[in-house]
Structure 1
Amino acid sequence: MVYKLSNAAEKSIIEEKFESFFKYPNLYQPQLVIDGLVESTVSICTMENPDVIDYAIWGLMPNRYKESWQIFQNAGNTLNFDLEDLKGPIWTENLLQQARGLTIATGYFCYFLRNGEIYPYYVCLKNEEPFYLASIYTQLEDGFLSTGIITTKMDDYLASFHNLDKVQPLIIPESIAREWLDSSTTLKTIENIIKNPPRLELKANPIAGEFFKNNILYDTILQPVHYDDLSRGMER
């Protein structure tokens, strides 16, 4: 499960990187950690407006949903969806065809369990630039968007430092971003992307344990740290 992201890039870097513009530029603030377990917003491009960066509440809720985010999350966690999840509840069954999004991030977090202790890892592109995460979205009764991140099977690289489950977020490279958001792209093609995720150049490093144990946040929280009994920091 992916429940914490990072989007630490400045607005100008994101807009230049993706050749898109924020719908509400004055609202954007870089965030070292976006915690999905509390009501948080993420930056997203949608099928309706692929060249506009909007905001969405992380934690998918049904179209035209009227009540609070917390009420729905208490009923069921909707931060992440795999392909089978999307074929389940009737309220999600058409979203993969009709409401695909690209959530912008600069990294996400994994966890390695060893000798009874959990070590947090920060994962990002090797060049540390922002990237897209595959997502789906809905529009709520008040007009806000909500979104869930799409996950896929974990590859051997990520499995070497994340052993709490077997899924990873689906990163969409810029080369197929337009195809992902194009309404004419077939569902078969989309499902094939999910089942066979594109390979990107990533790196991962352990970070301070306070991130996980005490939920402490400070300016250097994403910097690599060394653990005597854990020598895992690597690139693909």
Structure 2
Amino acid sequence: MKYKLSNVASRTRIEELTKLPFKYANIYKPKRKIDGTKEQNVSIITMENPGEIIQGIWGMLPQNYEDHWNKFQQIKSTLHTCINDIYNNVLYKEALFKRRCLLIVTGFYAHKLLGNKVENYLVEKENREPFYLAGIYNTTEDGFYTCTVINTNATEELNSINNLYETMPLQIPQMFKNKWLDKNTTREELAHLVSKPYHINFCVQKIIS
């Protein structure tokens, strides 16, 4: 869950869900495991241009950053951030109000310590339907988009198979998609959107690695 996402949806299915086109359609490829410890692209919709889907680098860099992704991630991993940090951390607090995004995924990974072994699980919706994760983003000096996933408290259901973390990615329901991306959304409305996890029926599959 901390470092891996999944997106196995076809380009057509994502465009059906979002009612939006990909800016660079030929770049998108479904991927069962998106490993955030490596420099990986994810499909995002941004406040800057909510009318199309682009590719962003997972792992947020400072706004107008000029150096390499790996170099910064060794100093601070920014694949995920917690709700408290987005209000207080110098890297995130401006982006929360000016540069929000939605990451399009079909699942995320969770982990359970059982005895002296770790079991891995893939958490998805039924039929591997794509859904949105709340995120924020910055752009680098040379124009690349980099983003982070906002985490919230894990639900009781997820905690039954996830005892290593107390958090999970924050899903944004379809009905709140436009509100999340709207530049006119107030601070009070944002606080409500990130205040608690939304109920989504997940299917959990144990991964044999």
- Which position in structure 2 is the counterpart of 1:172? 172
1:61–1:146: 8 Å Cα contact kept in structure 2? yes
- What amino acid is the match of 2:116? G
- Which position in structure 2 is the counterpart of 1:131? 131
- What amino acid is the match of 1:158? L
Cα offsets for 1:22-73 (capped at 9, x unmatched) = 0100111111110000111100000111121011110000111010000000
Runs ≥4 residues deviating over 6 A: none
Specify the SS of the correspondent of 1:101.
Answer: strand
- Which position in structure 2 is the counterpart of 1:63? 63
- 1:6-45 to structure 2, matched below 5 A, reads 6-45=6-45
- Which position in structure 2 is the counterpart of 1:95? 95
C-alpha separation in 2, matches of 1:56 and 1:39: 10
- What amino acid is the match of 1:140? T
Cα offsets for 1:131-190 (capped at 9, x unmatched) = 110000001011010000000011101000000010000011111111111111112211
1:64–1:141: 8 Å Cα contact kept in structure 2? yes
2:148 is the alignment partner of 1:148: yes
Across the aligned residues of Structure 1 and Structure 2, the Cα RMSD in angstroms comes to 1.1
- What amino acid is the match of 2:160? S
- Which position in structure 2 is the counterpart of 1:199? 199
Cα offsets for 1:1-28 (capped at 9, x unmatched) = 6210011111111101110110100111
Q: Which has the higher contact order (CA 8 A, sep 6+)?
A: 2
- What amino acid is the match of 1:22? F
C-alpha separation in 1, matches of 2:45 and 2:11: 14
Measure how far apart 1:197 and its partner are.
2.2
- Which position in structure 1 is the counterpart of 2:81? 81
Measure how far apart 1:92 and its partner are.
1.9
C-alpha separation in 2, matches of 1:123 and 1:131: 12
Give the count of matched residue pairs.
209
2:155–2:197: 8 Å Cα contact kept in structure 1? no
Measure how far apart 1:82 and its partner are.
1.1
- What amino acid is the match of 1:108? F
1:153–1:195: 8 Å Cα contact kept in structure 2? no
TM-score between both structures, scaled by the size of structure 1: 0.86
TM-score between both structures, scaled by the size of structure 2: 0.97
When Rg is computed on C-alpha atoms for both structures, the one with the higher figure is 1
- Which position in structure 1 is the counterpart of 2:163? 163
C-alpha separation in 2, matches of 1:127 and 1:89: 37
1:83–1:191: 8 Å Cα contact kept in structure 2? no
Specify the SS of the correspondent of 2:13.
Answer: helix
2:44–2:55: 8 Å Cα contact kept in structure 1? yes
